[in-house]
Structure formats: structure tokens, C-alpha cells
């Protein structure tokens, strides 16, 4: 792809890394949260962590919509298939995420449920056109990046009169989750994570712009740099954050200016505002109930809302015991802190969404740092065993 290799130039990466090493204060630590799982994978894929000094730490955030979807909502999607007999259309990364009792949409499909993988909302509309005698539900999921295509599908369904099409809406909002993470220590001190700044998500920001993050500098005194996904983007953004911290500045800066503007994509925002409205609260895996952090379909388009169309039973769902995915999503722990990582939990046998999601932190560690992570875990276990022997 044109203009991609320029952002992977090794000589430029080494120069950026040298500048970072020269400008960090060795007497302090820098803790920067990358909210987006795409940044987590870029950091590990390109060895960015190895290029920055040891006192520059990356704190992995919620990652992706697949990671943060609570088990209860996935149980609801399974209920739509098994109890209501719908054709459920979903993006592929949702199919293997474990729900209650280790079931998934993939296992439901194997048992005879009509679950279909689609590549776009337009594919789901086509399924509805070809099956006029069946109810077709699209599992709408994603941050602000994937919300406009869902809105477009609902509008198109209304235009065409596709009365057998609806959306099970799970679209969530990034800024509200960041605010909740920063407020978490006031709610529960155990969730406290020291953060010196944020690498802002790039694809989300292409839609909503950089303006929605300005509350971070105004109300929380936290620097933000909207960062692209290429290695030079990440290194440059880290340098920009370090300079803000060193200079005592607090601002929202846009490193990804080739794509992101302050106002964002206003046409996409208008479409979303027409179709959706904010929920009072929504449950995020790892974060709990987060106010004003998700969207629901407006009453004027209620005919295309699966939650209005189908009666879903109340559920109490629990995470897999010993799975640390919720703590990893909050940035409180890392995959190496989960005793299931690499033993019971692998990509072929995922216990939590962090391992099955293509943007999950556990998947990143497994793909790019598996041997190192397992060795660290073994060393930690050995230290614990030695301590127990000494105590005895």
C-alpha cells in the first residue's frame, strides 16, 4: 500500500528512539495507556516497547468492543438464535468469544443454530432480502468507528421496507469509558492505575475528531495524543506525550493529522445522531456499569431494534473463574498476571475475550511475546515456591 512503508522506516525509528532516550527523565516513570487494541498489537508487533527506555510503560486499556462486551449480552445473542429462531448475523471476531458455560456463537452454530458471519452491515441486509420469511438480526458491535455503518443499514432497511430486519445494538462510546477509568479510584481504590497520559485511538477519532478528548486535559489534567497505528506513529506519539509530561503541559495533540481533524467526520456523526441516542448506562466487561457510554436505537426507528422486537430474559452471567480478563481490560493487570495464560487459556481454547479477540492484550502477548511471558510466569512461580519453603 502506498505510503505505508514510509511509516515503518527503520532508520527513522532508531532516530525517534534515540530522541526518546535523550529526553526521558531517568528519575521518574512514565505510564501511558493505549486505549485501543490496535495500538497494543502495533507496540508488540514492531517491538516498540524494546525501543523505549525501561521507565516508559505501556498500560493496556479496554482494547476493543469484542473484549469489553459483557457475557450477559452475548448470552442474549445466543437466546435470540435458540429461543426466537432468528438468523443472527455477526462479524467474525465475535463468533468464538466464550459466553456462559463456555458456549459461543460458533458452538451454537455447530449445534444447528442459524448464525452467519458477515463482513459488513450490507451483507446482513442482503440476508434479510433473501429470507423474507425469517427474522434477521444483526449483532451491532463496535466503538464509534463501526457505528455509522450500522446506522446506514437501519436507514436502508426503512427505505426498503425490510420488516424482517433488526439490530441488537451494542455500540459503545470511547470518551465515556476513559472518564470512567480515571474516576475508578474514587469508586474503588483497588482499581487505581497511575496514568500520565493517553495514546488516543485513531480510527475512532477519524469519526468523532479530537475535540471529545479535551475534557481529559481540562478536567483531569491528562495529556492525550491521537496516535496512528504504524510504528513511527506510536514512537512519535510517545515522544509527544513525554514532552508534555516533562514540560508540565496538558493538551490534546493530534499526531495522526493525516486522517484525524478536530471536528471529525460530521456527516457520519449526523447519521449516528439521527438513528441512535445515548443509554443512561451500559455494562462493560472489566469496567462495570459505565454512565452515558453506549447507544440505543431511537424510538422513531424502534421497529428495527431487536431489544424491542424480542423479549429477552433477565440473566445473571459470570466470568470464567480465575480469568483475569476484567482486570487486564482496566489496566490493573497484564496477561502474565493471569495464571490461565498459556496453560488452560490459549487461542485454540480461550477462556476470555482478551485471548480470542484479534485486538486483545492476551492475544498480543501470545502472538509476539509468548516465550518471554511464559518464562516470566515460571520465574514468578519459582519465587513464590521458594518463599513458601523459606517460610516453612
Taking alpha carbons only, the member of 74, 114, 122, 108 closest to residue 94 is: 74
pLDDT bracket for residue 392 (50, 70, 90): low
Query: Region 214-243: what's the mean pLDDT?
Result: 95
Tell whether the model's pLDDT for residue 232 goes beyond 90: yes
Mean pLDDT of the chain: 91
Q: What percent of the chain has pLDDT over 70?
A: 95
Give the pLDDT band (50/70/90) at residue 187: very low
Structural domains in the chain, sorted by start: 1-320 (3.40.50.11750), 325-391 (no CATH)
Neighbours of 249 (CB within 10 A): 11
pLDDT surpasses 90 at 351: no
Q: How is residue 220 written as a grid cell?
A: 483531569
Residue with cell 512503508: 5
Tally Cβ neighbours within 10 Å of residue 238: 28
Q: What is the model's pLDDT at position 358?
A: 76
Write down the residue that cell numbers 452467519 correspond to.
116
Name the pLDDT band for 192 (thresholds 50, 70, 90). low
Q: Report the half-sphere exposure of 307 (CA within 13 A, side-chain side).
A: 14
User: CA 301, CA 296: separation in Å to the nearest integer?
Assistant: 10
- Length of the chain, please? 392
Adjacency order of strands within the sheet including 197-200: 56-63, 30-36, 197-200, 224-226, 252-254
What does DSSP assign to residue 349? B
Q: What angle do CA 271, 276, 281 make, to 5 degrees?
A: 145
- Asked whether the predicted pLDDT for residue 190 surpasses 70, the reply is no
Within 10 angstroms of residue 257's Cβ, the number of other Cβ atoms is: 12
Span 275-289, mean pLDDT?
92
Residue 6 DSSP one-character state: G
Q: Does residue 369 surpass a pLDDT of 50?
A: yes
Under DSSP, is residue 257 helix (H, G, I), strand (E, B) or coil?
coil
Confidence of residue 1 (pLDDT cuts 50, 70, 90): very low
In sequence order, which residues have a C-beta less than 8 Å from that of residue 174 and are 6 or more positions away? 35, 143, 144, 201, 204, 208, 212
User: Does the structure show a pLDDT above 80 at 309?
Assistant: yes
Cell numbers given for 165:
430486519
Q: Which of 35-44, 246-255, 354-363 has the highest mean pLDDT?
A: 246-255
- Look at the alpha carbons of 9, 14, 18, 23 in this order and tell me if their dihedral is positive or negative: positive
Amino acid at each position: 500500500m502506498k505510503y505505508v512503508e514510509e511509516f515503518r522506516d527503520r532508520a527513522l525509528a532508531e532516530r525517534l528512539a534515540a530522541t526518546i532516550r535523550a529526553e526521558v527523565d531517568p528519575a521518574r516513570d512514565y505510564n501511558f495507556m493505549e486505549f485501543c487494541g490496535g495500538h497494543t498489537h502495533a507496540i508488540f508487533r514492531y517491538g516498540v516497547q524494546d525501543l523505549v527506555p525501561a521507565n516508559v510503560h505501556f498500560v493496556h486499556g479496554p482494547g476493543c468492543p469484542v473484549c469489553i462486551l459483557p457475557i450477559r449480552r452475548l448470552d442474549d445473542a445466543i437466546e435470540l438464535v435458540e429461543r426466537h429462531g432468528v438468523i443472527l448475523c455477526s462479524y467474525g471476531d465475535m463468533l468464538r468469544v466464550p459466553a456462559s458455560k463456555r458456549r459461543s456463537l460458533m458452538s451454537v452454530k455447530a449445534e444447528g443454530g442459524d448464525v452467519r458471519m458477515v463482513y459488513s452491515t450490507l451483507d446482513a441486509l442482503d440476508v434479510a432480502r433473501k429470507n423474507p420469511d425469517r427474522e434477521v438480526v444483526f449483532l451491532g458491535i463496535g466503538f464509534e468507528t463501526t457505528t455509522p455503518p450500522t446506522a446506514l443499514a437501519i436507514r436502508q432497511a426503512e427505505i426498503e421496507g425490510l420488516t424482517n430486519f433488526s439490530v441488537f445494538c451494542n455500540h459503545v462510546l470511547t470518551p465515556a469509558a476513559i472518564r470512567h477509568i480515571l474516576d475508578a479510584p474514587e469508586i474503588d481504590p483497588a482499581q487505581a492505575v497511575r496514568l500520565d497520559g493517553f495514546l488516543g485511538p485513531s480510527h475512532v477519532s477519524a469519526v468523532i475528531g479530537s475535540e471529545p478528548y479535551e475534557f481529559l486535559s481540562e478536567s483531569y489534567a491528562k495529556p492525550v495524543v491521537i496516535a496512528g497505528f504504524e510504528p513511527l506513529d506510536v514512537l512519535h506519539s510517545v515522544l509527544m506525550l513525554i514532552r508534555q509530561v516533562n514540560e508540565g503541559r496538558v493538551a490534546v495533540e493530534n499526531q495522526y493529522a493525516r486522517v484525524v481533524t478536530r471536528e471529525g467526520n460530521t456527516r457520519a456523526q449526523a447519521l449516528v445522531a439521527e438513528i441512535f441516542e445515548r443509554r443512561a448506562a451500559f455494562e462493560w466487561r472489566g469496567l462495570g456499569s459505565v454512565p452515558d457510554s453506549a447507544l440505543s436505537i431511537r424510538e422513531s426507528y424502534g421497529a428495527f431494534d431487536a431489544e424491542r422486537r424480542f423479549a429477552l430474559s433477565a440473566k445473571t452471567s459470570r466470568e470464567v473463574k480465575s480469568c483475569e480478563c476484567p482486570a487486564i481490560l482496566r489496566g490493573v493487570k497484564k496477561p502474565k498476571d493471569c495464571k490461565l495464560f498459556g496453560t488452560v487459556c490459549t487461542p485454540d481454547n480461550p477462556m476470555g475475550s482478551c485471548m480470542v479477540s484479534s485486538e486483545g492484550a492476551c492475544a498480543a502477548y501470545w502472538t509476539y511475546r509468548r516465550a518471554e511471558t511464559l518464562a516470566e510466569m515460571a520465574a514468578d512461580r519459582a519465587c513464590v515456591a521458594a518463599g513458601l519453603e523459606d517460610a516453612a
